[in-house]
Amino acid sequence: MSIGKILILVGGILMIFGLVVSYAPGLISWFGHLPGDIRIEEENKGVFIPVTSMIVVSILISLAIHLFSYLK
């Protein structure tokens, strides 16, 4: 697959994601609120470490890469 086709594919995926975030934010409201995400908030500062959310994102990206490698 040429770099041009890959860039078009990535751009299309980003466009779809942008539309979902803009017009249906409830579909991704779970992100950052999963069990295992660490949130420490104090009076004037806070720390957020999305451990479980990043594991889910990593699995989804790995599945997409494997799917595209089979489509070649």
Q: Per-residue confidence at 42, pLDDT binned at 50, 70, 90?
A: very high
Residue 1, pLDDT above cutoff 80? no
Q: Per-residue confidence at 4, pLDDT binned at 50, 70, 90?
A: confident
Q: Which residues pair with 41 in a beta bridge?
A: 46
Quickly count helices (H) and strands (E) in the chain.
2, 2
* 34 contact partners, CB below 8 Å, separation of at least 6: 50, 52, 53, 56
Tell me the C-alpha distance between 32 and 58, whole Å: 14
Tell me the C-alpha distance between 50 and 28, whole Å: 14
pLDDT in tens, 25-35: 888 887 888 89
Kindly state the tokens that stand for 71.
Answer: 């489509």
